[in-house]
Amino acid sequence: IQGQSCGKLQESQLNNLKEYTEPDEFPWIGRVGYGDSSNGSTDFYCIAVLIKPRHAILPAHCVLNRVEVDARFILFGDWRANRNFDEKDCLFDVCAPVPEAIDIEELVVHPKFMGLRNPSAIDNDIAVAKLVRSVDFSDFVSPLCLPTTKHKDNHIAQKLTMVGFLQILPSFELAEGFRTKVDVHIVSLEFCASLQDKLNLTQDHLCAMASAAFLNFFASPLMGIEVEDGKPRNFYLVGLPTYGAIT
């Protein structure tokens, strides 16, 4: 899915300088539920990205490193992170529809991801979730574009966007709050390694930095903007967060 059918972008939202997203902004974001979707005590630790009607991608560590409970479903169209996901999310007079919880049929982890043996591994940290049925697309739920060969770039010194929710430490559960967007800056791997000396970075990695206010920010995904004829056209996927502060 490419072009106008993915990566929905409104230039007015892009430049509104708000910390919280609008209900229909970044509609590919899904919260990963650990436990039964009918259970009010379900925990949410990770975020998935809708890329096709029945497929979403997420970090592999969200699948393998949570051995105490399985990732069972993905909640799409959720504007506010809370346990009442059978109700509308509202802020003043603006509301989002009731989010849609769809069970996961199959999870496929990159075969070279070593996170289960080495929790600090950051290579090949990606998995694909196949859903039991197709998502109903709307203004509030739609896919993100995948990158093409023309998007091959190291993005160093560029400003990109991440979207997600704040986390509660030390549990890493997603805090109750509205979906948040933040601009991050991509720095060189050399500079990143000087700050994170225990990480083995390669050319397959990007290092994104944000202000200290977002140190507890769990985001997915890292996105770039497709520009056509001098106008921003759509968002496309650049990267997913690894297990740590590196993207």
Q: How does DSSP assign 38-49, residue by residue?
A: T-TT-EEEEEEE
Residue 25 to residues 144, 164, 193: CA-CA distances in angstroms?
11, 12, 33
Domains and CATH numbers, the chain: 3-12+19-239 (2.40.10.10)
Whole-number average pLDDT of the chain: 83
Lowest mean pLDDT among 97-101, 216-220, 230-234: 216-220
- pLDDT reading at 22 higher than 50: yes
Q: What are phi and psi of 100, to 5 degrees?
A: -115, 115
From 221, 227, 198, select the one nearest 208 (Cα to Cα). 221
What is this structure's pTM?
A: 0.87
How much of the chain, in percent, has pLDDT values that exceed 70? 83
Q: Looking at residue 20, what is its pLDDT? A: 87
Q: Looking at residue 245, what is its pLDDT? A: 42
